[in-house]
Amino acid sequence: MSEETKVAEAQESSAQLFFEEKEIADVKVLDVKTPLGDTIYEVSFGNGFGDPMQMTNKKYAAMRTVTKSDATTARESLVKKIGSEVYALMLEYGLKFSEIDPTLNEVVRLINDGQNTAIDFLWGNNANFRSMLDVNRVLLEKYESTKKAADEKGDDGAASAGSTPDTEAEKQV
């Protein structure tokens, strides 16, 4: 069964579906996928709730409801779902208790590094509304832009052995 069919069946199963307090008006499957190959949707809301929102299939499935809820309740539900999946993944790897904190610290470091790189490159929305999808979108744009520039220059990214220092600090090293 295709993702489009799954979305259509979910929408038909109830007269109304909600994301937090917002009524879901339309769901479109985007051409882009998550890094693990899952579907990404553009979800539009009724009742004047602003711009459409991009979200993964997992987030959409975990947070859509047949009744309105508040943002805190919806977030708590999502956090519990993610927490149980992270727990299961750590169990699959057979982590030792001494490996849990370093593993979670690495996840936080990767997220922060990705966000900081994306901030340095470009942002198209308010910081309070940024998601991991926004970070991934910006990082993909940066990669494509960098790769295109390198391809146009014929640059493979490696510095020549005889290159000169660019700054006074590099000259002093």
Q: Is the domain of 89 the same as that of 104?
A: no
Does some domain include residue 56?
A: yes
Q: Is the domain of 5 the same as that of 86?
A: yes
CA dist., res. 143 & res. 165, Å (int): 25
Q: Is the domain of 12 the same as that of 75?
A: yes
Does some domain include residue 164?
A: no
Q: Please, how many CA atoms are within 13 Å of residue 167, restricted to the half-sphere of its CB?
A: 3
Residue at a domain's end among 94, 117, 137: 94
Tokens of 113: 């590094």
User: What's the domain count of the chain?
Assistant: 2
Does some domain include residue 86?
A: yes
CA dist., res. 13 & res. 15, Å (int): 7
Does some domain include residue 173?
A: no
Does some domain include residue 39?
A: yes
Q: Is the domain of 62 the same as that of 141?
A: no
Angle 75-78-61 from CA coordinates, rounded to 5°:
120
Q: Is the domain of 33 the same as that of 100?
A: no
Q: Is the domain of 89 the same as that of 102?
A: no
Q: Are 31 and 19 in contact (CB under 8 A)?
A: no
Whole domain around residue 61: which residue ranges?
Answer: 1-94
* Cα dihedral 153, 154, 157, 161 in deg (nearest 10): -100
3-state secondary structure of 26: strand
Q: Are 64 and 14 in contact (CB under 8 A)?
A: no
Instruction: Choose among 158, 173, 165, 114: nearest CA to 140.
Output: 114
Note the pTM of the prediction, 2 decimals: 0.58
Please, which residues bridge with residue 26 across strands? 44
Does some domain include residue 66?
A: yes
Instruction: Spell out the per-residue pLDDT of the chain, length 173, in tens.
Output: 554 455 456 555 556 888 888 888 889 999 999 999 999 999 988 877 778 889 999 999 888 888 888 889 888 989 999 999 999 999 999 999 999 999 999 999 999 988 888 876 766 556 666 788 888 888 898 888 888 888 887 765 554 444 444 545 444 54
Q: Is the domain of 3 the same as that of 70?
A: yes
